[in-house]
Amino acid sequence: MERCIACGQPVTPDEEAMTKKLINRGITQYQCIPCLARHFAVTEQALYERMQYFKDMGCMLFPCNQSIESPEPTAPLQQKEASYE
């Protein structure tokens, strides 16, 4: 797991994605949300809201969006069966 370059705390994949979105997509040194908030002089709450916004946009930097195979949240389980028709 990556660690925050500012405070040394482990950073989550979400925080890695936020560092990329807010600072530089090619960055390899990450910061946790509290340190990002200090860096940008905003509240942690604001960053979490921004994070949710990016996720809702379907930003592929976030792990939760990388694993989504179908945009349909209620994709029927019988999808495979339907392909036999």
Site string for Zn ion, 31-70 (x = CB under 5 A): -x--x-----------------------------------
Interface size with Zn ion, residues (CB under 5 A):
6
Single out the residue of 6, 37, 59, 61 in contact with Zn ion (rule: CB under 5 A): 6
> Residue 69 CB, nearest distance to Zn ion (Å)?
33
**What tokens appear for 10 in the block?**
């482990």
Under rule CB under 5 A, residue 5 binds Zn ion: no
CA distance 7 to 10: 9
Q: Based on CB atoms, which residue is closest to Zn ion, 17 or 35?
A: 35
CA distance 67 to 60: 9
What is the SS3 assignment for 5-36? Answer: CCCCCECCHHHHHHHHHHCCCCCCCCCCHHHH
Site residues, Zn ion (CB under 5 A)? 4, 6-7, 9, 32, 35
